[in-house]
Structure 1
Amino acid sequence: MVLAELFSSPLQFSPTHDILFSMSMFREHWIGGIVTYTTFFIISLVATLAVSLLTELPLVWNPTIPSPLQPLKIIGCFAVAVLFGLWPDVDIKSKSQKIFYRVLFALNTALLVFGMYIESALLGLFAMLPIISKHRGWTHSKVTMFLMPCLFLVIPIYLTYPEWSAGWEEPLELIGLLLNTAIPNVCQNWLPFYVASFIGYATHLHLDDILFQSRKAQRRKARGSQ
């Protein structure tokens, strides 16, 4: 009778168990992000050097990674890959949440100091979204995996050429305005950060069995629905 009640009742985990589980997942996600991006970076770098040697193209022909002559940008991409490997868990109390909200607080303070009040308000609004959503909601969405890294393209365009939205009346005029400005160059300069953030994000979803569900995860989900 006791055994029947034990197996029929849901397992109750202590706060200590939850903390240890959160710490293990934090470690798994940041290691996964850096290992995956390192693998991609090495393969892409070898391809870049090989093509440059064989065809005499400049090292910047490959826009998916920074040039080997830009060490600070390379470090930045690795940092972005790690951070975006942690980002999806910002919707639950975790180390990832603490890290990102400290970063967001610093950014918001800087925006206020420089008088960018609209941008500060938008950042604050965005910062509230994960808190009011459920765990493994939109932050763990495959659509968000593609859209979230676009911040590394949209924000530089906005800061570099904020008046792009003025002076046009027809859609074709807007397209011509965009293509005839420095926007394509801005996108190319920041594309490595998009790629790094996308890889980090995708790694997190894969480790959570969301990107590509393993058979083990599928069986676990099937048992849970019974």
Structure 2
Amino acid sequence: MPGYKAHAAGAVVLGAGTLAAVNWMEWYTPDPLTALMLMGFVVLGSLFPDVDTDSVGQKLFYTILAIINLTFMVLGHYKWAAVLGFCAMLPVVARHRGWIHTWWAMFAVPMIIFIIPIIFYDIPWKSLLPFYFASVFGYFTHLLFDRKFV
């Protein structure tokens, strides 16, 4: 089982390669800031399945979320801070290697993050779709490196 460094590094390599490929094929060409944010979602997605254990990966994940959440609050984006806070609680309702380490959770957990802004804040789903795919892709890399698909 790889640690947080391997999961994060693998996600960066595979995520950057995939982003470069879809950009080169002209399927999706994000601006540099959006590309950077998408890579952040890939890395967070790759760390998420292990946040239910006391680990360095868990501390890194929640440190990043705390910084993002504080930024949302300082900027007055309380609705986004609420979504992030809700999603941060999800791992507490699981046991390690339980439902969080399944293929269906790879789609379901990011879907929660995707659907909440659409329902509650009237955000167009098309604008959030790349971030959903980035989160699922990062999650996929975690399960791949944990050999859940082998």
Question: What does the per-residue CA deviation read over 1:43-63, in whole Å, with 9 as the maximum and x for residues that have no partner?
Answer: 211211xxxxxxxxxxxxx4x
Q: Which one of the candidate residues 18, 25, 46 is aligned to 1:40?
A: 18
Q: Which residue in 1 is equivalent to 2:104?
A: 143
SS at match of 1:41: helix
**C-alpha separation in 1, matches of 2:55 and 2:84:** 21
What code does the residue aligned with 1:195 have?
Answer: F
Q: Which one of the candidate residues 23, 27, 31 is aligned to 2:5?
A: 27
SS at match of 2:141: helix
**C-alpha separation in 2, matches of 1:193 and 1:129:** 19
1:193 maps onto 2:124 in alignment: no
Q: Which runs of no fewer than 5 residues in structure 1 stay unpaired?
A: 1-20, 49-61, 162-182, 214-226
What code does the residue aligned with 1:32 have?
Answer: G
Q: How many Å apart are 1:99 and its aligned residue?
A: 2.2
Q: Which runs of no fewer than 5 residues in structure 2 stay unpaired?
A: none
Q: How many Å apart are 1:143 and its aligned residue?
A: 1.0
Contact 2:49 2:139 in 1 (8 A): yes
Q: How many Å apart are 1:146 and its aligned residue?
A: 0.6
TM-score, normalisation: structure 1? 0.55
TM-score, normalisation: structure 2? 0.79
Pair member with larger Rg: 1
% identical aligned pairs: 35
Q: Which residue in 2 is equivalent to 1:78?
A: 39
Q: Relative contact order (C-alpha < 8 Å, sep 6+): which is higher?
A: 2
Question: What does the per-residue CA deviation read over 1:99-158, in whole Å, with 9 as the maximum and x for residues that have no partner?
Answer: 2323444527956x95959x74x7656544423532111221111101122245323313
**C-alpha separation in 1, matches of 2:85 and 2:132:** 22
Q: Which residue in 1 is equivalent to 2:53?
A: 92
Change over 3 Å in CA distance of 1:85–1:126 after alignment to 2: closer
Q: CA RMSD in A?
A: 3.0
Q: Which residue in 2 is equivalent to 1:205?
A: 143
Change over 3 Å in CA distance of 1:159–1:42 after alignment to 2: same
Q: Which residue in 2 is equivalent to 1:17?
A: none
**C-alpha separation in 2, matches of 1:115 and 1:82:** 23
**C-alpha separation in 2, matches of 1:200 and 1:104:** 16
**C-alpha separation in 2, matches of 1:129 and 1:197:** 15
Contact 1:37 1:199 in 2 (8 A): yes
Runs of 4+ in 1 over 6 A off after TM superposition: none
Contact 2:52 2:58 in 1 (8 A): yes
Change over 3 Å in CA distance of 1:108–1:140 after alignment to 2: farther
